[in-house]
């Protein structure tokens, strides 16, 4: 099938499934990253929350702990998906030669890239779900709005997965992964409205924040936590999923340029 | 039935570099074992990459089992098995799981893949290792598993890129047996190797490639006869001029450093003369081999 994403077909699902199977085999070590939201919430919500002022969200004012709870989810989505498609994919591509093994079958490289991105999205969903359970245990997000959270997690996971794969397509070596990780990943989460409202930043930074998908994701997560199931939440889920398509198309091109010689 | 592989005037260079393959022609008959030989950088791996739809070509015609890999990559890859130079098994899966998961990319249902996995593990004599983890497999066992994996979908053509590099002599011979079995079953085999005795032992025909072109192609024994005669006399410490003086009509002499080689249809007579004239020189008489042909045609200088 020729499409915007390249020569992609149903075999991309088997690439996704292979990664899921590895995750299930190695679940004991893979699950360790899921304790992270516990620490994150303890540090940012319970710890920092004792010092921080209440935050104004839309019409109402909420305690900092309630403000940051959905932020913990956004952080998990970003890091699980981005890291998986950056570090994890690089290891599969370069050290394990998994991409070579798969492209020796009827699967195309484009199938591999798309399958990797789908897998990154599931990692985002798994991380987000773990975080959701943690913050719900502390009494946050117990509204009907949380039904939208998995959709936001998958849509956000696709964006960060595709972005991660773009960098996997261009980084020179595994050590160079530090550049996208620290110059792209870290600012995206620190200045994406997860820990403090974007409108408290200077004007130029607010403009910059508008280009950060996390800005939209954190707003939508917060709205969902407030019980909003309106167009803002669903529109963001759709918008992020749509934004993932050109990013993934770019990742496919960059990976082709890297691998097909 | 047409040839399993047909290549005409293949040209390929990497990103504006010098040509890696420069007008290569090749034809492999179905059901035969064909050896692609050549020094490092000769263009063997590039040729294989083009055949297996891993790389695009710049020019030339390529047909694999009647299909053009550039136009029908998925169809070509569904019909061929590929054993790469470097193992790329899934390190987190057991032996059996490696096969079953790989079968999915060929559209094999899980039950069928498990059945095939059992058959193939018997074929490569690893049936008692089905549940073994990758880190417990030796290099030889990994190779055998990669071969089993390449055979999952019952390909009509198997491409082996340096399959025995790094294996001990036992594993190598074991692998040769499997290749012979496959040939008996009618599978076409294309292999590259740096071991000339391997090519002589396995291949019906070989091509020696250098600088991206085929230098010679034919039945190994014929190539030896044509390019290195029947016998080789190798002498250490006999100058080239004296060797030429001792040579019979039609014999060919080559010097490389302190060593001189003489190729003769019948070497006994010359060998006797060399030993009589130079009793202190180290001289040996032996049958010529494909390695002699290889070195005569591609030179003895280091490539890399």
Task: Tell me the sheet residues that pair with B208.
Answer: B37, B216
Cβ A106–B55 below 8 Å, yes or no? no
Q: Quick one: which of A260, A106, A7, A99 has its CA closest to B80? A: A106
Reply yes or no on whether the pLDDT at B256 is more than 90: no
- pLDDT, averaged across chain B: 95
Query: Which of B15, B77, B86 minimises the CB distance to A104?
Result: B77
Q: What is the mean pLDDT of residues B166-175?
A: 92
Cβ neighbours of residue A158 closer than 8 Å, sequence gap 6 or more = A81, A117, A118, A120, A121, A124, A240, A241, A244, A248
Neighboring chain B residues of A1 at a CB cutoff of 8 Å: none
CA dihedral sign of residues A137, A142, A147, A150: negative
Q: Coil, helix or strand for B191?
A: strand
Chain A: nearest CA to B71, how far in angstroms?
12
Interface test with A, best of B92, B96, B145 (most A CBs within 10 A): B92
- Beta-carbon contacts of residue B64 (< 8 Å; ≥ 6 apart): B4, B5, B51, B52, B76, B79, B80, B157
- Chain A positions touching B55 (Cβ under 8 A) are 260-261
Q: Give the Cβ contact number of residue A77 at 10 Å.
A: 32
Question: Is residue A97 less than 8 Å (CB to CB) from chain B?
Answer: yes
Contact B89 A104 (CB under 8 A): no
Q: Do B82 and A107 count as a contact with CB atoms less than 8 A apart?
A: no
Q: Which are the contacts of B134, defined by CB distance < 8 A and separation ≥ 6? A: B89, B90, B91, B92, B93, B94, B95, B98, B142
**Who contacts B154 (Cβ-Cβ below 8 Å, separation ≥6)?**
none
Q: How many interface pairs between A and B have CB atoms less than 8 angstroms apart? A: 64
DSSP string for residues in B210-256: ETTEEEEEE-HHHHHHHHH-SEEEEEES--HHHHHHHPPTT-EEEEE
CA angle B13, B14, B16 (to 5 degrees): 80
Closest CA–CA distance from residue B78 to any residue of chain A (Å): 5
| pLDDT at residue A31, as a whole number | 80
Best of B50, B103, B104 to disrupt the A interface by mutation (most A CBs within 10 Å)? B104
**Residue burial B113-141, b: 16+ Cβ < 10 Å; e: rest:** bbebbeebbebbebeebeeeebeebeebb
- Tell me which residues of chain B have a C-beta less than 8 Å from any C-beta of chain A: 14-15, 49, 52, 54-56, 73-75, 77-78, 82, 84, 86-93, 97, 101-102, 104-107, 150
Instruction: Find the helix or strand (DSSP H, E) in which B22 lies.
Output: strand B19-28
Residue A106 contacts B where some CB pair is shorter than 8 Å: yes
With tokens 């959709």, the residue in question is A151
CB contact under 8 A, B97 and A100: no
| Interchain proximity B84–A97, CB inside 8 Å | yes
Distance from the Cα of A109 to chain B's closest Cα (Å) equals 9
Taking the CA of residue A108 and the nearest CA in chain B, the distance in Å comes to: 7
CB proximity under 8 Å: A 169-228 to B = none
The Cα of A102 is separated from the nearest Cα of chain B by a number of Å equal to 7
- Is A35 in the B-facing interface, judged by CB distances under 8 Å? no
Say what the pTM is: 0.94
Q: What angle do CA A198, A204, A205 make, to 5 degrees?
A: 35
3-state secondary structure chain A: CEECCEECCCHHHHHHHHHHHHHHHCHHHHHHHHHHHHHHHHHHHHHHHHCCCCEEECCEEECHHHHHHHHHHHHHHHHHHHHHHHHHHHHHHHHCCHHHHHHCCCCCHHHHHHHHHHHHHHHHHHHHHHHHHHHHHCCCCCCHHHHHHHHHHHHHHHHHHHHHHHHHCCCCCHHHHHHHHHHHHHHHHHCCCCCCCHHHCCHHHHHHHCCCHHHHHHHHHHHHHCCCCCHHHHHHHHHHHHHHHHHHHHHHHHHHHHHCC
Residue in A18, A98, A103 nearest the CB of B54: A103
Distance between CA atoms of A146 and A203, rounded to whole angstroms? 32
At residue B258, the pLDDT reads 84
Confidence class for position B295, pLDDT limits 50, 70, 90: very high
Structure-block tokens of residue A226: 């407030």
Q: Looking at chain A, how many residues does it have?
A: 261
List chain A residues with CB under 8 Å of B106: 105-106
**Quick one: pLDDT at residue B227?**
95
Nearest CA to CA, how far is A107 from chain B (Å)?
6
Instruction: Return d(Cα A22, Cα A93) in angstroms, integer.
Output: 15
CB A233 within 8 A of CB A209: no
From chain B, the residues in CB contact with A258 under 8 A are none
- pLDDT of B208 > 60? The answer is yes
Give me the pLDDT at residue B304, please: 65
* CA geometry: angle B274, B275, B281, nearest 5 deg: 95
Q: How far is Cα A260 from Cα A253, in angstroms, rounded to an integer?
A: 10
Q: Is the pLDDT of residue B10 over 90?
A: yes
Pick the range with the lowest mean pLDDT from A190-194, B57-61, B291-295, B297-301: B297-301
Calculate how close chain A gets to B101, using CA atoms only, in Å: 7
Give the ipTM of the model, two decimals please: 0.92
pLDDT along chain A (261 residues), means of 10: 84 98 89 85 89 86 94 96 97 97 98 98 96 95 96 98 98 95 92 91 91 96 94 96 97 97 91
The residue count of chain B comes to: 304
Neighbours of B51 (CB within 10 A): 26
The beta-carbon neighbor of B105 closest among A21, A102, A261 is A102
Which of B75, B92, B104 has its CB closest to that of A26?
A: B92
Residue B129 carries which DSSP code? G
């Amino acid at each position: 099938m020729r499409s915007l994403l390249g020569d992609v077909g149903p075999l991309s699902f088997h690439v996704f499934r292979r990664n899921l199977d590895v995750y299930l085999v190695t679940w004991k070590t893979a699950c360790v990253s899921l304790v992270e939201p516990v620490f994150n919430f303890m540090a940012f919500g319970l710890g920092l929350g004792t010092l921080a002022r209440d935050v104004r969200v839309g019409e109402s004012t909420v305690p900092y702990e309630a403000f940051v709870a959905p932020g913990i989810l956004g952080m998990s989505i970003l890091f699980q998906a981005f890291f998986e498609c950056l570090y994890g994919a690089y290891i599969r591509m370069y050290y394990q030669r998994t991409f070579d093994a798969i492209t020796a079958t009827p699967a195309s490289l484009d199938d591999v890239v798309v399958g990797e991105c789908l897998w990154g999205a599931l990692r985002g969903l798994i991380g987000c779900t773990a975080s959701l359970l943690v913050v719900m245990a502390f009494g946050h997000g117990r509204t009907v709005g949380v039904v939208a959270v998995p959709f936001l997690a998958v849509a956000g996971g696709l964006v960060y997965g595709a972005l991660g794969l773009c960098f996997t397509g261009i980084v020179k070596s595994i050590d160079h992964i530090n550049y996208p990780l620290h110059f792209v990943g870290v600012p995206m989460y620190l200045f994406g409205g997860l820990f403090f409202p974007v409108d408290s930043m200077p004007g130029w930074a607010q403009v910059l924040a508008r280009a950060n998908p996390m800005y939209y994701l954190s707003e939508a997560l917060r709205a969902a936590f407030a019980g909003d199931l309106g167009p803002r939440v669903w529109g963001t889920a759709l918008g992020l999923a749509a934004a993932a398509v050109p990013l993934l198309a770019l990742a496919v091109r960059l990976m082709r340029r890297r691998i097909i010689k | 039935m047409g040839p399993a592989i047909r290549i005409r005037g293949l040209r390929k260079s990497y990103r504006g570099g010098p040509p890696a393959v420069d007008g290569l022609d090749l034809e492999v008959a179905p059901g035969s074992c064909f050896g692609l030989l050549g020094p490092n950088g000769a263009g063997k791996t590039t040729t294989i990459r083009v055949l297996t739809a891993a790389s695009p070509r710049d020019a030339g015609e390529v047909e694999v089992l009647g299909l053009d890999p550039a136009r029908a990559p998925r169809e070509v890859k569904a019909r061929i098995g590929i054993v790469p130079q470097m193992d790329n098994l899934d390190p987190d899966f057991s032996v059996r799981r490696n096969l079953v998961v790989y079968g999915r990319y060929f559209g094999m249902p899980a039950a069928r893949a498990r059945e095939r996995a059992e058959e193939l593990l018997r074929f490569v004599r690893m049936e008692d290792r089905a549940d073994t983890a990758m880190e417990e497999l030796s290099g030889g066992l990994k190779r055998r598993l990669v071969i089993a994996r390449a055979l999952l979908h019952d390909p009509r053509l198997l491409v082996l890129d340096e399959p025995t590099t790094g294996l001990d002599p036992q594993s190598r011979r074991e692998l040769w047996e499997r290749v012979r079995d496959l040939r008996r079953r009618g599978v076409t085999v294309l292999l590259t190797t740096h071991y000339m005795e391997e090519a002589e032992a396995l291949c019906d025909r070989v091509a020696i490639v250098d600088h991206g072109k085929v230098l010679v192609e034919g039945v190994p024994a014929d190539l030896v006869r044509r390019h290195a005669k029947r016998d080789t006399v190798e002498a250490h410490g006999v100058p080239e001029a004296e060797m030429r003086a001792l040579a019979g009509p039609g014999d060919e002499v080559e010097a490389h450093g302190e060593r001189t080689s003489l190729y003769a249809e019948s070497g006994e007579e010359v060998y006797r003369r060399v030993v009589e004239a130079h009793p202190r020189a180290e001289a040996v008489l032996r049958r010529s081999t494909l390695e002699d042909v290889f070195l005569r045609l591609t030179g003895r200088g280091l490539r890399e």
